[in-house]
Amino acid sequence: AHPRKREMRLALGLFLGAASVAHAFSTGWIPSLVPRAVAASPVTGHSSFSVSRKGLVQGTRGVGKDCAVGGLRMAGDSMSGEILTVDEWFKKQGMKVSFQNLGGSSWSQNYKYKADNGKEYFVKTARQSAAKMFAGEALGLLAMFDTKALRIPEVLHWGDDGKGGSYIIMEYLPLGGRSDQKALGRAVAKMHLAEPNCKEAKEGKFGFPVPNTIGGTPQPNEWDDDWVRFFREQRIGHQVKLAGDRQMQDTWKKVCEKTDGLNTLFEGVTVMPSTLHGDLWSGNIASADGQPTIYDPATYFGHHEAEWGMSWCAGFGGSFWEGYRELIPEDAGFKKRRALYELYHKLNHYNLFGSGYYGDSVSLMESLLR
């Protein structure tokens, strides 16, 4: 089995998990990059916050109003300083609930909550702050949700519980096997073609409002109006630095020298920011109510081709690509760039799981030299 399946696909794929794992972030890094509404409130000193979706705002500053975080709709800390546990949050919505434990991992625990009105919710809890654990996942799900292209679980609330932990509450999806592959391909293409919901991305910048994680690895997302520079420095360069291996560093330096800092790989290609899932492999793809769904994101706004860096572990067949290419034809040079995008994930797997991915990582770099 693929190592990520062993580590992350628990409870038969019923929970949404690892891409939000921000415990790997250093303590000092996050506050410098996370917008004020995500970091601790200067008024109350805590980081509980909610999301406004379809007019629903829970326990937030300026009830009924949204504060902008990079164009994403997110409400800020409660002026009263109120911090609620999961059960208290449901009680505040006038719901009586029961729950089922779906299992978990070393960084989170997952539950299915059922309210007395019959509605079901997915709840994930963690032992660290919401700003570290759930901001990236919540905003990533919201970014994909707003494209209206796929069945994405709707995020309702996330925040600290006042006991040293945090949680995220979202719509519960009854996950099944994959939907029709051609329909999935078309749906992912529609997500890539949709206008981003973030002001910076609409203006042509690449990145995301907050840092997040790819598996358990920190993923920086500082805005950059140059895609090639963004991917060179914040994706491959970042992973090579984390690896700390001299051969990788030397080979990567040669790649940058031969390709003019990767620019020659993109000659004749216009790159626009697309909403990306960011970690699209088989464990993050299913169906819900007959519709294609993807979850557990490492979302950012980037080149649509970067989505295929995990396709070696996604099982996309001919019908998937037929559906996708009906809307987004293949650009010249894609096969070489595909190796570049795969390199990012192979390096990440090396940093997460060790030497089994070393050879693939170096081979992909060497293929870019040919």
SS3 24: coil
H or E element in which residue 218 lies: strand 217-219
**Using H for helix, E for strand and C for coil, what is the string for 232-246?**
HHHHHHHHHHHHCCH
Tokens standing for residue 23 = 């415990």
Local structure of 207: helix, strand or coil: strand
From 160, 161, 279, 296, active-site residue = 279
Position of tokens 């996950």?
A: 175
Strand locations in 62-171 (E): 67-69, 72-74, 97-104, 109-115, 120-126, 155-160, 166-171
Of 202, 193, 160, 219, nearest in space to 41 by CA: 160
Written as one letter, the residue type at 16 is L
Indicate if 279 belongs to the active site. Answer: yes
Which residues are annotated as catalytic?
A: 279
